[in-house]
Amino acid sequence: MGQTTRTSDGESCGVVAVGASAGGVEALSQFAAGLPQDFPYAVTMVLHMPPAAPSVLARIVNRSGPLQAVRAEHNMPLEPGRIHVCVPDRHLLVHDQRIVLSDGPTENGYRPAINALFRSVALAHGPRSVGVLLSGVLYDGVLGLDAIRSRGGTTIVQQPAEAMYPAMPLNALQAGVAEHEASAHDMGRLLMKLADRELKESDMERDANMELENRIAMGRRFSTSFNTESLGPPSGYVCPDCNGSLQMVSEGNFRCRVGHAWSGDALLQARDEEVETALWVALRSLQEKSRLARRLAEDESSTPLYERYNALADEAEHAVTVLGDRLAEAYTEAGDHGAG
């Protein structure tokens, strides 16, 4: 049975886990603005951000609404009516009635990660957990909402038409893991209605895979105290972060030996970035080859070698032109379709 967060008089309350990515600062601010002063839940909030990002999100959220928003600290108690905000380069997780900050493996290239937070709240608070997924791209947060729903919790997404980047909430709706949708500002009223429901606590079967993934997220960055092979069969793919083999946890859900987690779409995006890097290296190498061949030709008195070096330079310059034109076309098409 999941643990519950309790108020000072011993009355149990729920835990709301909120996740956002691209366009998330505005959505998180709107969400906080719509929460009432007497909000009975503890709130945890994650935004995907770079490791070196300035840690100002708590101040932004704190100015947005009536509830106090604070930077999450390790071992901080969860308190109803308070928003516990993530910090850069640490997973924001929940264990029992306290915050856990960890430097466990990244998920979809992020730390903090939405899925990691949602999973920990699902395991710790079961039917008293609520997952809220806001603006963002790809499938981030979908697996986390599924975890909350599978443990009896409630799942909510921002209305896709309102979200600056609608892919995350839209993908959650299409996957069938979102029970409610609302505007970010109106979610407070919806949550207050949900708080009045009578919840039945019941024993649930253990989910060994979910528990293992939660332990991985709570572990150290280079921990070797787990065995991801038990999560599923080899996928035949390698991890973009460490080049280790990936296990298939479920369809479109992968983990490597050291714990990095990837969704199918995030893995595809990482491959796109690898291909782009390789193409830029190819362009640079071809340009250097052309310049070197021209210089060697200028210094060569032998006619056959002079002609050979110039031919090599011509060939490299032609390849640069063809590759550059193809790359420009590809980027134009991607922009027309709204791709990154």
Show which residues are catalytic. Answer: 21, 48, 140
First to last CA, the chain: 43
Q: How many helical (H) and strand (E) elements, i.e. helices and strands, does the chain have?
A: 9, 15
Residue 310's identity, in one-letter code, is: N
Contacts made by residues 34-37, CB under 8 angstroms, sequence distance 24+: 34/65, 34/184, 34/185, 34/186, 34/187, 34/188, 34/189, 35/65, 35/66, 35/67, 35/83, 35/188, 35/191, 36/66, 36/188, 36/192, 37/66, 37/67, 37/81
- Interatomic CA distance for residues 225 and 202, integer angstroms: 31
Bond prior to 112 in cis (omega within 30° of 0): yes
Of the candidates 120, 297, 139, the one whose C-alpha atom is nearest the C-alpha of residue 131 is 120
Phi-psi domain of 10 (left: phi exceeds 0; alpha: psi -120 through 50; beta: other): left
Per the CB < 8 A criterion, the answer to whether 114 and 172 are in contact is no
DSSP 294-321: HHHHHT---HHHHHHHHHHHHHHHHHHH
